[in-house]
Structure 1
């Protein structure tokens, strides 16, 4: 009897611990789901207040319900909110709080808003944005692949192939379609190559390109990267999301974030370069543009 009771207690304790672990795991897995938007523009100084802690308001910061934003006089910020389908533009001095359904100004200048298209919300609602080095360097080698970079998805069927090296040389380039079909071979003087006229890559296909040369020390140097050409439907959908001429920086930041989430890294980098040129004060844009 005692042994049975003891076994029952042990079993109950084990089940309790197991349930706690499962709940903790579920909470961790659900973590990204409470993100309701993103910081799309910051001019001047501001603070992000959440869970009793304060941090500097930065471009691309995720926002969650309960977070507060504090801007000093003259400072500005733009925030997307997927639930409200709006971009909120705040001008300091202001204190605002994020809710499930939108952003509420608690004190200061009222916010102005502009609508987010449903298709943009759908594309951005599960962002996977992260500051990442866009330049893939081959380990122990001196060729730096610049585009198409490794594991990227290309929006167009004629990407430009670019790389960099410490010294000028004559390069051998090979482009293959998975698994082993050679699409093109070329000897290149310089560090840029385009597909021959009339040649396009197939939508939805995987490719690998390799560039190599003989260094002055007689050693062979090479680098390679794998990439995929976007399926036609995916490419059309992304082009439909592209902001129009004259769009504000916050709309371009959101578009760059969506491109990055879709692994369209080269296109995202070009958008970041355009943003950085337009807004030299956005240091994050310069980092993402490299």
Structure 2
């Protein structure tokens, strides 16, 4: 290899995941293949790849890339060489590329620390992960969340109160369950902050202990529109769930993102990348 070619390859690898504009061109949301199959340069979930990058994929390896500018998803299958370009992911040799739209227009860039990649396919099965109190110090993606909390000793029912950022109660209900769904007329508005509290009550309706409370905010209108557009169905692809979780995290909806990261990590227990995202 000539010194010029060696220098060119070194620059390509060094700049593969960097963008001088601060905006990634594509986000890698899945890599599937038998153990030992590695693309060149190696791809990992949540890598951000810039235009002009070349990817060599062996036979039996696939990678999925989301173009954050156009909202299109590209499923590239080796063997072959692929170029990341403004027109999307292009096959330069024998590889194939399937394209579909996942959003109508651009998606927010993401910045999430990742680790190594484990390659396996999956289908999302179950998303519900118990949290002590949800939502708590996080954003929520829409105005109709289901509030959840742990059962409290001695409680026959619970009084749930939601207040705005002036501490004015805007919504209150009683329930015998440890969760309560807010309805469209509950008073939540996009971009606003709220607090909520749960009071455990006995059979006569008197408090049996102190209330527990938490705060949250609803994402802004632009983020809510993106999240609603890309929200996957329960049996959606691994790529779709990675993209949705990444956008939730970017919008500040860390509780919802964490629920999905945990479910993904259970599906791929050997994935160091996902383990780093689970708290």
In the TM superposition, what are the counterparts of 1:235-246 in structure 2 within 5 Å? 235-236=224-225, 238-242=227-231
Contact 2:73 2:100 in 1 (8 A): yes
Question: What is the match of residue 150 of structure 1?
Answer: 137
Structure number with higher helix proportion: 1
Shift of 1:206: 1.7
Give yes or no for the alignment of 1:163 onto 2:163. Answer: no
Deviation at 1:200, TM superposition (A): 1.0
Matching of residues 1-290 of structure 1 within 5 Å:
31=20, 33-44=22-33, 46-47=37-38, 49=40, 55=42, 57-82=43-68, 86-105=72-91, 109-116=94-101, 119-120=104-105, 122-124=106-108, 126-129=109-112, 144-145=132-133, 147-156=134-143, 158-164=144-150, 168=153, 170=155, 173-184=160-171, 191-195=178-182, 200-204=186-190, 205-211=192-198, 224-230=213-219, 235-236=224-225, 238-242=227-231, 248-265=237-254, 268=257, 276=264, 280-281=267-268, 283=271
Secondary structure of 1:119's aligned partner: coil
- Structure 2 counterpart of 1:13: none
- TM-score, structure 2 as length reference: 0.60
Distance 1:102-1:93 versus aligned 2 partners, 3 A rule: same
State the match for 2:10 in structure 1. none
RMSD: 4.6
User: Could you say which structure has the greater relative contact order, defined with CA pairs below 8 angstroms and 6 or more residues apart?
Assistant: 2
TM-score norm. by structure 1 comes to: 0.58
Aligned partners of 1:189 and 1:244: how far apart in 2?
29
Aligned residues: 234
Deviation (angstroms), 1:159: 1.6
Q: CA deviation at 1:150?
A: 1.4
SS in 1 for 2:22: helix
Provide the secondary structure at the position in 2 that maps to 1:33: coil
The 1:266/1:34 distance shift into structure 2, 3 A limit, reads closer
- Which deviations, in whole Å up to 9, do the C-alpha atoms of 1:115-166 show, x marking residues without a partner? 436734x223x234557xxxxxxxxxxx833x2231313413x32111347x
Question: For the residues of structure 1 that align with 2:103 and 2:238, how far apart are their CA atoms?
Answer: 19
Q: Once the 2 structures are TM-superposed, how far is the Cα of residue 281 of structure 1 from its aligned partner?
A: 4.1
Q: Say if 1:276 and 1:289, in contact at 8 Å, map to a contact too.
A: no
Following TM superposition, by how much is the alpha carbon of 1:272 offset from its aligned partner in structure 2, in angstroms? 5.9
Give the whole-Å Cα distance in 1 for the aligned partners of 2:72 and 2:221: 29
The structure carrying a bigger strand percent of its residues is 1
Is the CA contact (8 Å cut-off) linking 1:79 and 1:88 kept in structure 2? yes
